[in-house]
Amino acid sequence: MAGRCVQIPPPQLPSVQQQLPTAPPSTNWGGVVSPKTAEKILKGYFVDMIELLPDAWRYEDTAAQLPIPHPCRPPVTEITVWVECFSLMAGVIISRLSEKAQHMFQYLRTIVRASRNFEGTAWVSYDAAFRRQAAA
């Protein structure tokens, strides 16, 4: 038996995917995106970026019961806030339609570049017009 090697199989480690916590697609956004907003996104309706911020929807269910009208919210004009909102929207979409991931990241890159290359908030108008047309 001298000179004979014994092969020991490598240990079976769980893959990285098996270690990451997962949630059923678009059923629970952990309080990050309201269920009503996630539903609108998944149905292809236009969603204003400001609706994706937690303070915009936290009281959305009670707002209908209040006698005072819901205040008008200004558009998101800071690129860092827009990226946060868009990331949430993309996450909702990709949870159901993973094949859209590449397009979502390409669009994100387009808007970030536009915000850098053009003065003012032209990128805000472009984004809103593009997403309204896509929702139509």
- Please write the tens of the pLDDT for every residue from 80-115: 999 999 999 999 999 999 999 999 999 999 999 999
Asked whether the beta carbons of 111 and 123 are under 8 A apart, the reply is yes
Band (pLDDT 50/70/90 cuts) for residue 53 is: confident
Distance in angstroms (rounded) separating the CA atoms of residues 128 and 45: 12
Asked whether the beta carbons of 84 and 98 are under 8 A apart, the reply is no
In the Cβ-directed half-sphere of 37, how many Cα atoms lie within 13 Å?
27
pLDDT at 120: 93
- Please write the tens of the pLDDT for every residue from 54-69: 665 544 544 444 444 4
pLDDT at 3: 60
Q: Is the pLDDT of residue 21 over 70?
A: no
Distance in angstroms (rounded) separating the CA atoms of residues 127 and 12: 47
Delimit the domains of the chain by residue range. 30-135
Mean pLDDT on 28-52:
84
Q: Is the pLDDT of residue 29 over 50?
A: yes
Distance in angstroms (rounded) separating the CA atoms of residues 85 and 96: 18
Band (pLDDT 50/70/90 cuts) for residue 14 is: low
Q: Which two tokens stand for residue 23?
A: 């949630």
Q: Alpha-carbon torsion 87, 88, 93, 99, what sign?
A: positive
Q: How far is CA 27 from CA 7, 8, 32, 51, 96, in A?
A: 46, 43, 12, 18, 10
Distance in angstroms (rounded) separating the CA atoms of residues 82 and 96: 22
Mean pLDDT on 124-131:
95
Band (pLDDT 50/70/90 cuts) for residue 75 is: confident
pLDDT at 32: 79
